Amino acid sequence: MKLSKFKFNLPQELIALHPAKNRDESRLMVVNRKTGEIEHKVFKDLLDYFGKKDVFIFNNTKVFPARLYGNKEKTGARIEVFLLRELNEDLRLWDVLVDPARKIRIGNKLYFGEDDSMVAEVIDNTTSRGRTLRFLYDGNHDEFKKALYALGETPLPKYIDRPVEPEDEERYQNIFATEEGAVVAPAAGLHFSRELMKRLEIKDCQFTYLTLHSGLGNFREIDVEDLTKHKMDSEQMVVNADVVEVVNTAKDNGRQICAVGTSVMRAIETAVSTDGHLKEFEGWTNKFIFPPYDFSVASSMITNFHMPLSTLLMMTASFGGYEQIMDAYEVALKEKYSFGAYGDAMLIL
């Protein structure tokens, strides 16, 4: 499959800059793979498509305030530092991206906060924009993390082209997020409100939670036309025994299994055994799913409307069928659905 097959013109005004007023009141396009039918609904109409003992698999990763702005020593140049992950707790080492990268060399010091209360030293170059920083901070680890996060802001995707607002801290986070480590919110879950989840529970639907710490690889541009040559960034994930039991029981009993988002789909396809059942997994995945691909676990999927040429669109097209999903995207453009993390949702049955 070629990269250019996933190109389409997305008008800027269809990229959602803010979420729907209420989480469960974004629009929902329902795509039926068997019949080819497309329905236009509201997200809380999800209730009509699921019943007793059907399973929703959620990603409970929690986004942390990963984007910081600092100043370079001597020149005072403003530098954006994007925290990716903590490498060493004791040494306060972090894997980060810096922008503009050309100005930041090993040995440079960066100062953060109005009073320069946080200082970091560049100790390694990892990629063209990647650096390893050592933060210099007196205090225990919890105090350090608290101080660091107080300086950071919600890491909205770059295509949400506006300053971060106070509501983003809550709205760019799933209500069931508990495991800190993501720099990208699993967007499909953002549509779930407490009320909707309660109503699904009343219908005797089951919820289970895995963890995949979504990284910036989701937004990295693919620079090869032949998709077999693209390498995904690795992301840390955990599928525990509880998830395995709930999902495999549902599968054996012929119940619906709904993957809430592309991160969940990547995780369960990473942790699948040869007989199509889920198995426990703790480690890293760089699985890249693009058409054609045979899925083993999920029977349905909830996902947002994705950017052109994105790996997220490729996975969606793998699950829904390339022609069918690209046709659905044409309909979405015509019907003015909202795209991106704060945009509308698609349910693929």
Q: Where in the chain is the domain with CATH 2.40.10.240?
A: 67-151
Q: Residue 272 carries which DSSP code?
A: B
Give the pLDDT confidence score for residue 270 in this predicted structure: 97
Q: Is the pLDDT at 342 greater than 90, yes or no?
A: yes
- Calculate what percentage of the chain has a pLDDT beyond 90: 87
pLDDT at 220: 77
Confidence of residue 249 (pLDDT cuts 50, 70, 90): very high
Each residue's pLDDT tens digit, 111-161: 998 888 899 999 998 877 889 999 998 889 999 999 999 999 999 999 999
In the chain the beta strands, taken as DSSP E runs, fall at 27-31, 38-42, 55-59, 61-63, 67-72, 78-88, 93-99, 109-112, 118-125, 130-136, 179-182, 206-212, 235-239, 257-260, 281-285, 300-304, 345-348
Q: What is the pLDDT of residue 114?
A: 84
Q: What pLDDT does 125 receive?
A: 86
Backbone angles phi, psi at 129, to 5 degrees: -105, -10
Q: List every span in the chain annotated with CATH 3.40.1780.10.
A: 3-63+168-348
* Cβ–Cβ under 8 Å, residues 97 and 248: no
CATH 3.30.43.10 fits 67-151, yes or no: no
Q: Are 237 and 214 in contact (CB under 8 A)?
A: no
Beta strands 179-182 and 61-63, pairing class: parallel
Mean pLDDT computed over every residue of the chain:
94
Q: Which helix (H) or strand (E) holds 252?
A: helix 241-252
Q: How far apart are CA 31 and CA 110, in angstroms?
A: 49
* Contact status, residue 311 vs residue 222, Cβ threshold 8 Å: yes
pTM of the model: 0.93
Q: Would you tell me how many other CB atoms lie within 10 Å of the CB of residue 229?
A: 10
Question: CB-based contacts of 10: which residues, under 8 Å, 6+ apart?
Answer: 307, 308, 333, 339
Tens-digit pLDDT profile for residues 168-211: 999 999 999 999 999 999 999 999 999 999 999 999 999 999 99
Residue 209 phi/psi, 5° resolution?
A: -130, 125
pLDDT of residue 126: 83
Cross-strand bridge partners of residue 83: 96
- What are 42's strand-pairing partners? 27
pLDDT in tens, 218-230: 777 898 999 999 9
| CATH architecture of the domain with residue range 3-63+168-348 | 3-Layer(aba) Sandwich (3.40)
